[in-house]
Chain A
Amino acid sequence: MVKKKKKQQKPWQYKFSLALSLLMLLLVCGYFVQSFVEIRKVKPVSVAIERLTRSAPAVESGGGDD
C-alpha cells in the first residue's frame, strides 16, 4: 500500500491555527479571572472572609465590594 504523503501546509495556515489557539487561551484565562472574582461571592467563602475580617484587628479597608 502506498503511503499518502501529507499535503504541505502554508505558513499562514499555521499562523491562523496558532492565532485560534491563542484566542482560545486568552478566553480561558479570562474565565479564570471571572471565576476568581466570583469566588468572593460564594457564600461559605464570603462567610469565611467576613469571619476572618471580624476577628482581625482593625485593618485598613481595601474597599470591599460586598
Chain B
Amino acid sequence: MSRDINVALTPQEKLIRVFAYLSLLAAFIVGQIASQTDFEALLQGQMPDATLSRSQANEQLPVVYRFESGGELSPDVVVMAEGVGYGGPLVVGIRARRTEDGGRLNEILVLSHKETPSFLERINRGKFFGQFAGKSVSDNFIVGDDIDAVSGATVSAEGFTAAIREAVHLGAVQHLKQKPSWQEPGWNVGADEFLLILLFAMAFLGAYRRDKLAKYTRYVVMVGALVFVGFYANVSLNLGNLAGIVMGYIPLPRQHPMWWIMMIGALGSVIVLGRNIYCHQICPFKVVQDMLQKVSGIQLRIKPAVQRKARTLIFTLSWAALMLIFLSAHPALGSYEPFAMMFSLEGLGIQWYILPAALLGSFFVPSFWCRLFCPVGLFLNEGVRARRSIRNKFFGRKKRKPIPAAESSKVEIIAKSDGE
C-alpha cells in the first residue's frame, strides 16, 4: 500500500487534496453547529403536546423542566442528563417526581444518542431503561450493582447509566439539597482489560522477535484476537472510533478502560514504535480473512494497475465516510466496515450485503478488505509514514560518515573485490 508514497503529487492532485481537507473542515464545523444540544427542542420532540418551562428554582445544573399537559401542571419534572456512550455524546431526559424522602424516577426518555443502532436495539430489547422506574434519587445507579448490564452493549449501558447517575445526584444535591449518601463508581478494570493488555504485549513480542517463540506467540495472538477482540468483546477499531477522537468523543478511562487500552495499543505502536501492530496482529477481521485464504487455497491477484489505485480509492471512501460522520456528528453512520457486524451479527440494511461480499472477496483474494477498502489500515499506515517523515525531518536520516575522497576509492576497490 505504501508503494507509491514517494511519488510527487501533480498540481491537480494537490488541489484535490486541499479541497478534500477543506471540505472535511467545513463539514466538521457545520456538524458541530447543527448538533449543539437544544434541550427544549429535543424534549418537545418527545412530548409534542406538553408546554415546557425551564425550572427557575435555581440556575445551577442540571437543567430541569416543568411541563403542563392538558392545561394542568404536572407534578413530574424532567431532569436533563448528558453523557458519553460508545459512539459519542448522548442526552436523556429523566422524568422524576419529588417525594417525602427526596425524589423518585418515573421514566427515562432517550432524546439523542450516537450509538450504533444495533447496540441501542439490544438495550431496548433487554428493557434496560425500565430498571430505573421507581428508583430513589439517592440510589447508587452503578451497572453491576443496582443496575443490570446489557450483554453486547455494555459500554452504551454504562454511558446511559453514568449520564443518569450524574444528573440525578447533582439534582439531588443542587435542587433537593440532599447530602450525598450514595456510593461512587469505581474503576471498571477486570480480567477482560488484563487480557487485552496481554494480547498487545504478545503482539509486540511477536513483531520484534524472529525466533520460534515469536512464531508461536503470533499464533496465540491470532486466536486471541479472533475469539476475544472479535467474538467476545467486539471492540475492533473502526473509522468511527478514530473520527470520534477528532470530535472529542472520548469516554472516561474509568468508564471504558478497554477503549483506552485499544487506542493506546494501536495508536501508541504507531506513534512510539513506528509500527502498525493492530492491523497485522490484533485485528480479528484480518484473522478471518487469513483463515478463509487457508481454507480456499486460492490466491488471486489484483491487476497491478488496480492495486496502484487502491490507496486513492480508500482515501476517497474514507473522505466520503468522514464527511457523513462530521456532518451528522454521528460516528456510527459513516463507518462502513463490516467488523462489528461480523462479530455481533447485527446490522442495518445494506450492511448485511457488505459482510458476505467482503468474506467472498477474501476467499479468493488475500487480505481483500485490507488491501482495497479498509480505512483503519490506511490511517494507521499513514500514521507510520507521517511519523517516519517527521523523524527524518527533525532528526535526519541515518547518514553514513562522509568518507574522504582518497579513502572512498579504496572502499570502492574493496567492495568490487568483495563482489568478485
Among B31-39, B60-68, B283-291, B408-416, the stretch that binds chain A is B31-39
One of A28, A30, A42, A47 near B330 (C-beta < 8 A): A42
Q: Which chain B residues border A45 with CB–CB below 8 Å?
A: 34-35, 328-330
Q: Say yes or no: is B360 at the interface (Cβ < 8 Å to chain A).
A: yes
With A31-B351, A35-B324 known to touch, is A48 a contact of B317 (CB < 8 Å)?
no
**Minimum CB–CB distance for A31 against chain B, Å:** 5
Among B73-81, B301-309, B378-386, the stretch that binds chain A is B301-309
**Minimum CB–CB distance for A37 against chain B, Å:** 9
Task: Establish whether residues B324 and A21, one from each chain, have CB atoms under 8 Å apart when the complex forms.
Answer: no
How far is it, in angstroms, between the C-alpha of A32 and the C-alpha of B335 when the chains are bound?
A: 9
What range describes how many residues of B lie at the interface? 35 or more
A-B interface contact total, Cβ < 8 Å: 110
Q: Say yes or no: is B232 at the interface (Cβ < 8 Å to chain A).
A: no
**Minimum CB–CB distance for B366 against chain A, Å:** 10
Q: Which chain A residues border B317 with CB–CB below 8 Å?
A: 28
Q: Say yes or no: is B227 at the interface (Cβ < 8 Å to chain A).
A: no
Q: Say yes or no: is B300 at the interface (Cβ < 8 Å to chain A).
A: yes
How far is it, in angstroms, between the C-alpha of A27 and the C-alpha of B38 when the chains are bound?
A: 35
Task: Establish whether residues B349 and A34, one from each chain, have CB atoms under 8 Å apart when the complex forms.
Answer: yes
How far is it, in angstroms, between the C-alpha of A51 and the C-alpha of B132 when the chains are bound?
A: 32
Task: Establish whether residues A31 and B306, one from each chain, have CB atoms under 8 Å apart when the complex forms.
Answer: no
Task: Establish whether residues B324 and A16, one from each chain, have CB atoms under 8 Å apart when the complex forms.
Answer: no
How far is it, in angstroms, between the C-alpha of A18 and the C-alpha of B372 when the chains are bound?
A: 11
**Minimum CB–CB distance for B239 against chain A, Å:** 12
Q: Say yes or no: is B25 at the interface (Cβ < 8 Å to chain A).
A: no
Task: Establish whether residues A17 and B302, one from each chain, have CB atoms under 8 Å apart when the complex forms.
Answer: yes
Task: Establish whether residues B368 and A14, one from each chain, have CB atoms under 8 Å apart when the complex forms.
Answer: no
With A17-B300, A31-B351 known to touch, is A43 a contact of B324 (CB < 8 Å)?
no
Task: Establish whether residues B41 and A51, one from each chain, have CB atoms under 8 Å apart when the complex forms.
Answer: yes
Task: Establish whether residues B328 and A39, one from each chain, have CB atoms under 8 Å apart when the complex forms.
Answer: yes
How far is it, in angstroms, between the C-alpha of A35 and the C-alpha of B354 when the chains are bound?
A: 14
Q: Which chain A residues border B330 with CB–CB below 8 Å?
A: 39, 42, 45
Q: Which residues of A contact B (CB under 8 A)?
A: 9, 13-14, 16-18, 20-21, 23-25, 27-28, 30-32, 34-36, 38-39, 42-48, 50-51
Given contacts A35-B333, A39-B327, A47-B45, 20 further A-B contacts (CB under 8 A): A13-B301, A14-B303, A16-B364, A18-B302, A20-B365, A24-B361, A25-B373, A27-B353, A27-B354, A28-B317, A34-B349, A35-B334, A39-B328, A39-B333, A44-B42, A45-B328, A45-B330, A46-B45, A47-B38, A51-B38
